[in-house]
């Protein structure tokens, strides 16, 4: 991904992490999802008192984008912040990896940032031997 585009995603994710609703874990995550046509959707984690309904930043961004008609994506950038404001490289959880796989191929780029440096992976690296719609749809 181009450096200017990556920096744009970092800015969007850093704004999103400030909107995270994390009164239980105090672990805030922000994501910026890039669509194939160049649109960017932000997402933050939204916790719930019943825990299970909690949704991650990555899936929030994906739900926003899909609900606006986007089905093809190029990459996502993820940032996090703990209750003390410390940042760290945070990898998407297994549920998010599988949810991304529904819409993204193995070469989809997943960028982790601590706000200063970047680590780039492909979805195929993070979710090897994935199960996807190609396994279900036989055409
Ligand atoms: Zn997740």
Cα 4 to averaged position of ligand 1 atoms, centre (Å)? 26
Cα 136 to averaged position of ligand 1 atoms, centre (Å)? 23
Task: State the pLDDT at residue 138.
Answer: 75
Task: State the pLDDT at residue 4.
Answer: 96
Catalytic residue of the set 58, 81, 102, 117: 58
Which stretches of the chain score pLDDT less than 50?
none
Task: State the pLDDT at residue 52.
Answer: 96
The secondary structure of the chain as a DSSP string is: --HHHHHHHHHHHHHHHTT-B-TTT--EEEEEEEETTS-EEEEE-B--TTSTT-B-HHHHHHHHHHHTT---EEEEEEEEE-TTS-B---PPPHHHHHHHHHH--TT-EEEEE-SS-EEEEEHHHHSTT---HHHH---
58 is catalytic: yes
Domains in the chain, ordered, with CATH?
Answer: 3-136 (3.40.140.10)
């Amino acid at each position: 991904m181009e450096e200017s585009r990556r920096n744009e995603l970092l800015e969007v994710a850093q704004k999103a992490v400030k909107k995270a609703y994390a009164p239980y874990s105090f672990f805030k995550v922000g994501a910026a999802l890039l669509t194939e046509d160049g649109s960017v959707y932000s997402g933050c984690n939204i916790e719930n008192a019943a825990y299970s309904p909690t949704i991650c930043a990555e899936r929030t961004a994906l739900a926003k984008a899909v609900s606006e008609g986007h089905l093809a994506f190029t990459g996502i950038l993820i940032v996090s912040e703990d209750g003390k404001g410390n940042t760290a490289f945070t990898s998407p959880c297994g549920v998010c990896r599988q949810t991304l796989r529904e819409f993204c191929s193995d070469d989809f780029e997943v960028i982790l940032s601590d706000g200063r440096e970047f680590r780039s992976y492909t979805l195929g690296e993070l979710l090897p031997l994935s199960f996807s719609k190609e396994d279900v749809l036989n055409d």
